[in-house]
Chains A and B, each alone.
Chain A
Amino acid sequence: MTLPTTHTERPRRARMPLSIWIVAVVLPLLVGLVAVAVQLAWLPELPEQIVVHWGPDGPDGYGPVWSTTVLTASVILGLVVMFAAILSIPRGAAPTAIHKFLAVTSLAVSLLLGVGVTATLGIQRGLDDLSQVPDITPWMLVAFLAALVAGVVAWFLLPKAVTPVTDPQEAAPLRLSPGERSVWIADTRLSGSAFVVIMLTVGLALVATVFAVVVSDGQGWPVLFVPLLLLVVCGAGIAWRVRVDPAGITVRSRPFGWPRTSIPASEIAAVQTSQVDPLAEFGGWGWRWAPGRNFGVISRGGEAIEVTRRDGRRFTVTVDDAETGAALLAAYAGGSPAA
């Protein structure tokens, strides 16, 4: 049996250093535990109904006292699971700057939530009249500063970031006979692990918003549009069709054909194949921008077609049998669009 030739082997699953797991998982879980413990210890001193939301003019959302503790525990746990899932996917060298950023964000967000939410309970201890609740703003600043300082310190304590290896190779143009009109069409869809992470993120956002709306007795229901919008945006980034023809390269979202992007053959300066690490280079999946004027449609790690335009902008699409597609595109590139 012949299999499609893979010219470069897929890199091995990345081994994150222990320090990344400590910053991304262990410390945030500790923060969550301490926050929940402190909140439970304060329970006897708290009124049954408490302020759970502050608007520009002071308290505007009320809920039962247990809701805050449940929210703290579930959101921090959910966030840690999400960051752990994302960090267990990458292949190749680690930790890259993006891996470090994810780990540091996990710690910073858990501190922001842990300190901030616990403080909202702390200032309500021993109060009978909820209108006497003091301003929360100073504590929010404290939480923000704690998150920022911990994030910066953790960043510098973590090992130095490595640059991802992409192994770009110039595509050998397919030999075309004069007048030949060939077409290359391939479908590409989100990898299973990426799909799980994205659904986890959207699910977490949805649960948190529904919880917030329920606890506040339906106030703030327009917030529900946020996860719904997220769902629609993610829906446009699950499957794509890549087409190379004499006119150039076109990538469309499926099944609606929109959003789409295309590059005319006459604008193409170079065509390469490369190995893409979605997190390290593009910080995720779907329609992505990366540093260095690189735009990409990233469905998974592995082989990709990389196009450089005449003005220096780059476009990357991950797709199976990239070598064949790149070879045909290279054959059409730079020429005038075929009539």
Chain B
Amino acid sequence: MLIRIDPGSGVAIYDQIAASVRSDASRGVLRPGDRLPAARELADALDVNIHTVLRAYQNLRDEGLIDLRRGRGAVVTEAAVTGAALVDAVRALVADARRDGVGPQTLIALIREEYPA
């Protein structure tokens, strides 16, 4: 699985970790039952604090995408892959936006308008 972290992006690191796991699940790289790397290993690889990784994992658990069990680690749930069909739609949307010269901020704003929290 690919975890992308850009400290300069202004987005909290733990949100970036969680977003990467979500997108890996959508791409089909992570399947239900797969185990995420131990928080310590991921923290070491990303050169971030272990609590940052744990916070990302806890958020993912709260969303129902992973199960956190003592001794078993973080396990991907069935729910994590149900959004997979969306990825194609998002790719198409981004391609359209690029073609029409719509920037990422504008596109995100448009989505927010359609889908308020």
Contacts and interface: CB of A to CB of B under 8 A. Distances in A.
Interface of A: 1-4, 177-186, 241, 243, 245-246, 320-321, 324-325, 328
A2 B31 CA distance: 12
B110 interface: no
Interface stretch (B59-67, B81-89, B99-107): B81-89
Contact of A177 (B1, B9, B42): B9
Name the prevailing secondary structure of the A interface residues.
loop
B28 A3 contact: yes
A182 B2 contact: yes
Contacts of A1: 28, 84-85
A324 B26 CA distance: 15
Given A1-B85, A2-B88, A177-B6, A183 B45 contact: yes
Interface in B1-42: 1-9, 26-29, 37, 41-42
Given A2-B26, A177-B9, A243-B45, A184 B87 contact: no
A328 B27 contact: no
Contacts of B113: none
Contacts of B5: 180-183
A246 B48 CA distance: 13
A247 to B, nearest CB: 9
A178 B46 CA distance: 15
Given A1-B85, A2-B85, A186-B1, A181 B46 contact: yes
B4 A2 contact: no
Which of B26, B45, B87 gathers the greatest number of chain A CB atoms within 10 Å?
B45
Contacts of A183: 2-3, 5, 42, 45-46
Contacts of B26: 2
Contacts of B87: 2
A2 B1 contact: no
Counting chain B residues whose Cβ lies within 8 A of the other chain, the interface size class is 20 to 34
Given A2-B27, A245-B45, A245-B46, A179 B3 contact: no
The list of the 4 closest CB pairs from A to B, nearest first, reads A182-B4, A183-B45, A180-B6, A245-B45
B114 interface: no
Interface of B (DSSP majority class) = helix
Nearest to B5: A181
Contacts of A185: 1, 3, 37, 41-42, 45
Most buried by B among A2, A4, A180, A325: A2
A240 B29 CA distance: 17
Given A2-B26, A181-B5, 4 more contacts: A4-B27, A183-B42, A186-B1, A321-B29
Contacts of A324: 2, 29
Question: Which of B4, B27, B85 gathers the greatest number of chain A CB atoms within 10 Å?
Answer: B4
Contacts of B4: 180, 182
Contact of A4 (B7, B9, B28, B85): B28
Nearest to A182: B4
15 contacts: A2-B28, A2-B84, A3-B28, A180-B5, A180-B8, A182-B4, A183-B2, A183-B45, A184-B1, A185-B1, A185-B45, A186-B1, A241-B37, A243-B45, A325-B2
A179 B9 CA distance: 10
Contacts of B45: 183, 185, 243, 245
Contacts of B28: 1-4
Contact of B29 (A4, A181, A246): A4
A241 B29 CA distance: 15
Contacts of A245: 45-46
B31 to A, nearest CB: 10
A152 B41 CA distance: 52
B30 to A, nearest CB: 10
